[in-house]
Amino acid sequence: MKAAKRLVILLLAVCLLLDVWVAMRDNPLFRNAPTGDVTVLEVLPSSSAAVTETVPASSQAASSAAESEAEPASSQPASSQAASSQAASSQATSSQAASSQAASSQAASSAASQATASSKPASSQATASHAPAKPSKPAKETNQTKIVNYVTRPTYASVQSEIAALAEAYPDLIRVSSIGTSVQGRDLTMLTLGNGRAEACIIAGIHARESVSVSFLMRCVEEYAAAYVSKSGKMGGYNMQNLLDVYTLYIVPLSNPDGLEIVGGRAEPAVRVAYEKDQDISDYKGNANGVNLNKNFPLLWDKIDTKCNKPHAEKYKGPAAASEPETQALMALCEAHDFMWMTSIHVRGDCVYWSDKTNPSVGQSAVMAQKLKERLDFYKCPTSEKVEGYGGGFENWFRQQYDRPGLCLELMPLDYFVTPLSDETHSIFSTATRWDLTKKAIPLLMYFGFIY
């Protein structure tokens, strides 16, 4: 009798392993895992099956501090559990691809605990970058893409033109629409990239002075699309054909168009805006109403004390939560879709904000942040504690509202200064943004952010 029971248990185990193997074999995210020089074994937390995945050789564990040029407005949870409460929606048909995300969860959870024990300062504003110091005189670079010009500052008109050109060049992959208009009537243009059922949201340019973030996201779109139609289908070791057949990315590359024109084009704000004594137009972060949009979302908005109750270059949270049309448009976009995760691209700090005191543990957040740390050398910030730092932030509101990962990626090491009034930073774009690594951030989030 005991032997018979053992046989039955053995047969059940074999059947389970066969089911897992079939799911992995058919999963497009597993067919072409990111390639690199180092191989690690990651175990599916839900079964005993294991898969081999590759890690880019350039990845390093972060070892020193970084700080956000935008406010410490984004952060994310410290757990590595899959977001099963969200998984059950429109991604059901893509559930096979979830095996790849599950495979990463357990390996990254142990790594996440190490990241929080980092020797870096616990404050949301740290003091030095962990990336290699910039050369004394970085060489100016020439543009390497066919459509997007990232070596000069973008304007509202140039971004609109490039978006139209990208849609024309890749009609089967990119579609263009508007999610609303700004205070001064400029379109909040969105492009969708990909043909998959899984959805994610990516924005840039929410702060007026951060034109580099706009160029970064636009260059990402062009290079991902070019990789998709290439013979190999790959970019940076990630198979973009597989990823963009699983995902559709909803991308708003310029979410504060009025602010970009106020800083770079010297357009006039809609209201009189105050500055600190040592500030000028190069410090401007707000929209045309002098509202910092990354403090305007309805997360603990009434608790934010910026000691500023009037339009300001960077501090004003607005007259009410979600008072601004740009804020409302982004909220409506999230409401209309079933985003697995979202990320906002900012400029300075070389780090990822992924957790805050209100929502310290959301879905795959810890896994995603840890992978950015290990593979792309982002500093994984500690949980944001002060409401003044994370209250009203887009990423923070998204986590609270949908219980799914919302991250802020800060691109540039602190050794580099933002020059919103000239082309200086753009002229050394690839060096300043660590492009060879950071271009892989979105594919990495796609890979490790997938949920059932």
Q: What is the pLDDT of residues 311-320, one digit of tens each?
A: 999 999 999 9
pTM: predicted TM-score of the whole model, two decimal places: 0.76
Q: Sketch out the chain's domains with CATH numbers.
A: 2-55 (no CATH), 84-265+292-448 (3.40.630.10)
| pLDDT at position 289 | 98
Mean pLDDT by 10 residues, the chain (452 residues): 69 63 50 37 27 33 32 34 37 40 39 36 38 63 95 97 98 98 98 98 98 98 98 95 98 98 94 94 97 98 93 96 98 98 96 96 94 97 95 98 97 90 94 96 96 64
| pLDDT at position 6 | 73
Q: What is the pLDDT of residues 265-324, one digit of tens each?
A: 889 999 999 999 999 999 999 999 999 999 999 999 999 998 899 999 999 999 999 999
Alpha-carbon distance of 125 to 89, in angstroms, equals 37
| pLDDT at position 37 | 30
